């Protein structure tokens, strides 16, 4: 008979160190629960049979899920796209390698929007993950499977995810879990199937702030195989858990509270009040270039995406068709057949923005706006330690509501997560209460490489809210 394994990551690690876990029994129970959850909610399209040998250090065999656009050796890695059906890499992404070396075990690949193109995980080439709190609603995107599983499993587990414009924060908010997006370059992108090279960031999603801090400590650090990797090593982010935040300066950007659901606004303002009660000092500030961020992001991101996706042509790997006609005709046929509608849309938008005659008017101008946005954040962080805002402007919508949205309305949902992603700063979404049964996320942001500050604030709020239950 299996014991009750509905325990925290912290408890799992403690019991493992003390010899209090029958690991073979734990893995058998975990796998059975995982398969049942997946049948109902569709979080993973690949489930890996886990070796039941117990690891005796580090993470002690802690189950880790991996977003489908992060390569795992010997496991199909398709980035949610049918054009990469059958692609099985022979190597691990650096982040995955670090997890394995650190004692974690990969349990499978989580469903996502195709190449990360989406806010609701409805653009998947495979199964659309369902919100564990209400299966008629979205998990958010594009790391929907990762966040949904982190909430639903109720057993020790951490998800490895990725964000380009908010793909960690958004699903974390919609599912009521913790999502940490690190500073751009802090975690190696080697082995990531890129959406937009200058924006992509690998980060963790977990049940507690301590869980994501632990995972960040493992995956962060310099990697010579990634030219954008920052030279930082061996940082223990868990030391920032449950720190006193008395005197911490928290900025509240007024632009982030416009046109958001009143229910979301109420919960976020309540969380900010709670931070004040814990000793933080809040201050209203302005980030004036915020209103240009969404336009700049979609020009930059789609431009980079159109270039990155050019290599998926049906020749070297993934889906292919009988070779007929000239190469251009063959490429067009394969891409038309195997790429989803949103992928095609973004390729077209990005190609247009980079065309001769339009590059100066769109792409270069968007890059200038990006610089202004970065400068806005830099000015703000001279006055405050952390910024606090809603993660998402709405509560998780029903799938039938999403079906009625036009593409531009989909893009507008990223209005609060895109600015910090453009700036490459660290951010964390932490649950700050429920409206009915639906969770609301508070977004905490800090200056580059100041992950410790957002972990401190998030941990303090988490502890206060747990005590207040």
User: How are strands ordered across the β-sheet holding 63-67?
Assistant: 44-47, 105-110, 63-67, 158-163, 201-206, 178-181, 427-435, 438-445, 386-390, 249-253, 281-285
d(CA 139, CA 134): 9
Instruction: Say if strands 249-253 and 386-390 run parallel, antiparallel, or are unpaired.
Output: parallel
d(CA 126, CA 105): 24
Of 400, 397, 406, nearest in space to 345 by CA: 406
d(CA 33, CA 31): 5
Residue 154 makes CB contacts below 8 A (sequence gap 6+) with 6
The residues assigned a catalytic role are: 67, 142, 167
Terminal Cα-to-Cα distance of the chain (whole angstroms): 33
Structure-block tokens of residue 44: 């993973």
Residue 264 makes CB contacts below 8 A (sequence gap 6+) with 390, 392, 393, 394, 395, 435, 440
């Amino acid at each position: 008979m299996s014991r009750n394994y509905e325990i925290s990551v912290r408890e799992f690690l403690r019991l493992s160190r003390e010899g209090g876990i029958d690991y073979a029994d734990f893995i058998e129970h975990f796998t059975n629960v995982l398969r049942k959850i997946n049948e109902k909610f569709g979080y993973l399209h690949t489930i890996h049979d886990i070796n039941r040998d117990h690891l005796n250090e580090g993470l002690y065999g802690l189950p880790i899920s991996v977003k489908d656009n992060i390569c795992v050796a010997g496991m199909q890695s398709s980035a949610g796209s049918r054009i990469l059906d059958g692609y099985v890499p022979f190597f691990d992404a650096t982040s995955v390698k670090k997890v394995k070396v650190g004692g974690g075990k990969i349990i499978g690949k989580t469903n996502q929007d195709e190449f990360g193109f989406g806010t609701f995980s409805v653009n998947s080439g495979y199964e659309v993950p369902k919100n564990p709190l209400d299966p008629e609603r979205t998990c958010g995107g594009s790391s929907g499977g990762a966040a949904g599983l982190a909430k639903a499993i109720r057993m020790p587990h951490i998800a490895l995810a990725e964000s380009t414009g908010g793909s960690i924060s958004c699903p974390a908010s919609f599912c009521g879990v913790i999502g940490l997006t690190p500073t751009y370059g802090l975690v190696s992108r080697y082995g990531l199937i890129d959406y937009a090279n200058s924006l992509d960031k690998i980060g963790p999603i977990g049940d507690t702030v301590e869980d994501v801090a632990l995972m960040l400590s493992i995956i962060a650090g310099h990697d010579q195989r990634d030219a954008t990797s920052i030279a930082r090593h061996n940082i223990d982010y868990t030391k920032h858990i449950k720190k006193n935040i008395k005197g911490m300066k928290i900025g509240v950007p007024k632009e982030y509270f416009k046109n958001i659901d009143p229910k979301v606004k109420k919960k976020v303002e309540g969380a900010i009040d709670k931070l004040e009660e814990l000793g933080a000092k809040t201050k209203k500030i302005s980030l004036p270039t915020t209103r240009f961020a969404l336009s700049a992001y979609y020009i930059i991101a789609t431009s980079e995406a159109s270039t990155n996706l050019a290599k998926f042509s049906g020749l070297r790997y993934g889906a292919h068709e009988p070779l007929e006609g000239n190469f251009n005709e063959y490429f067009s046929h394969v891409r038309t057949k195997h790429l989803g509608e949103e992928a095609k849309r973004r390729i077209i938008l990005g190609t247009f923005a980079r065309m001769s005659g339009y590059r100066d008017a769109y792409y270069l101008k968007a890059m200038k706006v990006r610089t202004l946005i970065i400068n806005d954040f830099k000015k703000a962080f001279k006055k405050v330690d952390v910024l606090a805002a809603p993660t998402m402007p709405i509560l998780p919508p029903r799938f039938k509501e999403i079906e009625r949205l036009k593409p531009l309305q989909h893009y507008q949902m990223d209005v609060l997560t895109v600015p910090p992603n453009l700036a490459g700063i660290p951010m964390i979404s932490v649950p700050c209460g429920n409206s009915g049964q639906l969770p609301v996320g508070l977004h905490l942001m800090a200056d580059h490489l100041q992950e410790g500050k957002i972990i401190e604030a998030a941990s303090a709020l988490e502890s206060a809210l747990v005590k207040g239950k």
